[in-house]
Chains A and B, each alone.
Chain A
Amino acid sequence: GAVVSQHPSRVICKSGTSVKIECRSLDFQATTMFWYRQFPKQSLMLMATSNEGSKATYEQGVEKDKFLINHASLTLSTLTVTSAHPEDSSFYICSARWTGEGEAFFGQGTRLTVV
């Protein structure tokens, strides 16, 4: 299957600082990338969808000024959590797809802890 690499896998930051998470498709060009948030023992919650070269589409209730998404190339999307607070602590996962249909491949996830 296709490989999606997410970095970092774990990050601890202080309240008020910003954190950037990278998502790269290593062996294919990703027309669309997705960012999810997952709480313990729960399913994946879609935060936003991004297409290369255009603005991300955010799900209802997700603050676009807080969770900045950039999809500058067909192989890289970034999620920046700005002015992080402890309640932003969570597991963030990206996925990438190269066609409109079906299969989306996930990164390894990033465990964010805000102290």
Chain B
Amino acid sequence: GQQLNQSPQSMFIQEGEDVSMNCTSSSIFNTWLWYKQDPGEGPVLLIALYKAGELTSNGRLTAQFGITRKDSFLNISASIPSDVGIYFCAGQRTSGSRLTFGEGTQLTVNP
């Protein structure tokens, strides 16, 4: 079953606002990944994090790998309508192991 706690479950924001979501775990992960899924599509990789403390940006997106290796957050700055979708965090414990997914954050951006 799922072992990553992702929050919030949903967010309703105005265009232009910043967004923050996070994932926490009771156990350590060596890799954290953030994906976005549009309706009827597969998830698309946004950011991959490999080192504790790492802070990585991809355009308006910024993600950090928590120092304890038990959490990660994703920030979206200056949101736009096309940011709408479901965002998933995923963790990998060791090289070669499966990914564990969070429950997802449904983001709605009002123009």
Contact = CB atoms under 8 A, between A and B. Distances in A.
Interface SS majority for chain B: loop
Contacts of A41: 106
Contacts of A43: 2, 88, 101-104
Interface size of B as a range = 20 to 34
A108 B2 CA distance: 22
Interface in A16-56: 32, 34, 41-44, 46, 49
Nearest 4 CB-CB pairings of A with B: A100-B96, A106-B42, A100-B95, A102-B31
Given A105-B45, A111-B40, 20 more contacts: A34-B99, A43-B2, A43-B88, A43-B103, A44-B43, A44-B88, A46-B98, A46-B99, A49-B98, A91-B40, A93-B42, A95-B42, A100-B95, A103-B48, A104-B45, A106-B35, A106-B44, A106-B45, A108-B42, A109-B40
